[in-house]
Structure 1
Amino acid sequence: MADPFDAALDLLRRLPPSSTQQNLTGIISLRPELEEDLLSSVDVALTSARCRKSGRDYLCCDYNRDGNSYRSPWSNEFEPAIDADDAAELIPHGRVRRMEESLNAGVDVYRELYYEGGVSSAYLWALDEGFAGVVLFKKSAGSAGSGKGGWDSIHVLEVGESGSKRSAQYKLTSTVILDLALRSKEVDQLELAGNLTRQTQQELPLSGLREAEVEQGHIVNIGRMVEDMETRMRNLLQEVYFGKARDVVGDLRSIQPLSEAERDRAAQKEAISKMNSR
């Protein structure tokens, strides 16, 4: 008999990517014991919430979640509030929190320049040797009536620090979730959805010896890696998703009216007939 967790993942891979959240909720309602494992293993479109303290939007994911509460990167508090002992363990402090604040400021500028809107968030947490984190971006456009578009990128990082503080090992796993839909008289209904995951690992130098300089060096390195990865993945999506979709639609449908196509075929037959009669 197949393992329920593996069976659930197999089922989700075969269902439409645009309905992953809905299907995931349905599977969890049937098998509640799989909730934690599924939520940590399946990438779904990000949701946003508004920080009560700062009034700014932030993104919700499994990495800033505790039960039904999510931690805001702006206030560093869970909403709704959780037990004080649990919060003390889950909320970052010291250098990790300082780097988280700097990283959020950096990705917010990047989001405005590259996405011209949307929502971004970054979360960090300490490890035994280094730290880990996630950088999130979400941009939605249009409405469900005529067409909609959604871009969600999830960059999970792990940073291993050496004792010399001259360099650090960075491991980045990035996933982009794309969801596009269009409804019009010309094309009727068109949907393009899916996700793409890529991974990279680099050892990068850190400048300076003071703690503040090392922290800033981490932020710069993480920012460059995320920017490079997003550029690569945008180019891949352009080739794989849009290129293939254009080829398929071009083979199945013609933008030329049927009457013009029949007229062209008739002219071609007439030209061939005259050539054969000579």
Structure 2
Amino acid sequence: MKKICRRLLSIVLVLCMLSCFAPLTAEAKDKYHTTVHTLKQKTWVTVKGVQFPDNYEAEYHVYKMSVPAGGYVRLYINVNKAVKAHLRPALYKKVVQNKIFFNTDRLIEFSQVTTTHYVSLEKGDYYFYAAEGTKVKWDFQKMPHPNNYCKAKAAVQPSGKNKVLYFDYGYEHAQWFKVTLSKEQRISAFINALDNAYEPGMLILNNKLRMVKTSRIENYGAITLRTGLLPKGTYYIRVSRSDNYFEDESDTLDDGRIYSFTWKKY
């Protein structure tokens, strides 16, 4: 009789232990979950952010962008002002499960003040995450590979016309532009890094590739060059990712890839 009672007591203890530990195991397994949504081009989406359903402690909603090669991304972000101080919108290269999502490595963080962002990304999938209520839209700008990589192949761009210059991956060489003055005139050139990078390199050269004396104004990724009165003739504007004149190509991560460029004669 004592043996039977001991066996019954052992069974009861084992069942109690299983009933205690089973919920703990399930809770640890389903603590955090990441749900991936597809973010289509040219479509506004309202971000769900993090939610707290019954079956998870936290569920993170991220938005996948499939970026092709040969161009840059324009990302439009309208931050929910009620939560903008707590979390900056960001792009991630991978999705993680069973972790707090926004604590993983961010690829790019975005300003909460600026609404339009220019981003250079290699071909692949990227994941956008932001606070609940943030509105996001993106599009891809296909860009041809430029061939104006030297004086002999310098491009002709009309005076006063703005142009977006893109330095694609593997095509980091400097870009050249030809300027013809039919009389004595001055040249001014302006370039601005759209992807919030460091100041690029920009020079104005004469036909013998000697640097023309200029005044220079720098302002947070933007450069303005102005010459004095120049004799008629042919001149060149050389634009590069690096501010090092002797470096024809640059693959440095800190150097920008997307620039707004314009020049004029007067």
TM-score range with shorter-chain normalisation?
Answer: under 0.3
Bigger RCO (CA 8 Å, 6+ sep): 2
Greater C-alpha Rg: 2
Instruction: Give the number of the structure whose residues are more often helix, by fraction.
Output: 1
TM-score normalised by structure 1 residue count: 0.25
